[in-house]
Amino acid sequence: MTMQSTSLWDFSNQLYNREGIASVCLRLQDEYRLDVNLLLFCCWCAHFERELPEETWEKILDFSNQWKSQVIQPLREVRKWMKLESSPYSQENQFFVLRERIKMDELAAEKIHQEFIESNLQNLLETKTEFSNARANSLITKLLQTYKIEKDGEINALLETLIKAAKDSADVK
């Protein structure tokens, strides 16, 4: 299956699991406060010819901001806190089971996030094409501008790594 015939969720998982990409995504998330789901979405959209209409972009951003702040981020914060917690009760099996369940809920929330995004793109999905670095860069630049994040050498290098991996994944048939 080619990457452009893949759902956003499947594409994201395939790309995220490529060597080194998880750490790149986590750095972009932790150091630049970028939404990894939106970054992966920008790379996924580079497989389609049609431009993303502004009203669709705004709808996706509005939902993403709410979903991240109200659902994903609280789950992530609890999971991270539990991972670092070193009190006696944190050594209990139930504690580990709960942390894993929260991790699964966080992933389920991310999947819902991506499914919402994809559900708003039916017209875009009709025009699949070769991966375009230019389209990926354009959408990521738009995302950075939306969040008022300036490109510097470090973020550029991280984004180039992500885009190159997305392109390399797209070339695998």
pTM: 0.89
69-125 pLDDT, tens per residue? Answer: 999 999 999 999 998 887 777 778 888 899 999 999 999 999 999 999 999 887 776
pLDDT recorded at residue 60 = 96
pLDDT in tens, 104-113: 999 999 999 9
DSSP string, the chain: --GGGS-HHHHHHHHHTSTTHHHHHHHHHHHH---HHHHHHHHHHTTBSSPPPHHHHHHHHHHHHHHIIIIIHHHHHHHHHHHH--SGGGGSHHHHHHHHHHHHHHHHHHHHHHHHHHHT-TTGGG-B-S--HHHHHHHHHHHHHHTT----HHHHHHHHHHHHHHHHHHH--
pLDDT per residue as tens digits for the range 23-64: 999 999 999 999 999 999 999 999 888 788 899 999 999 999
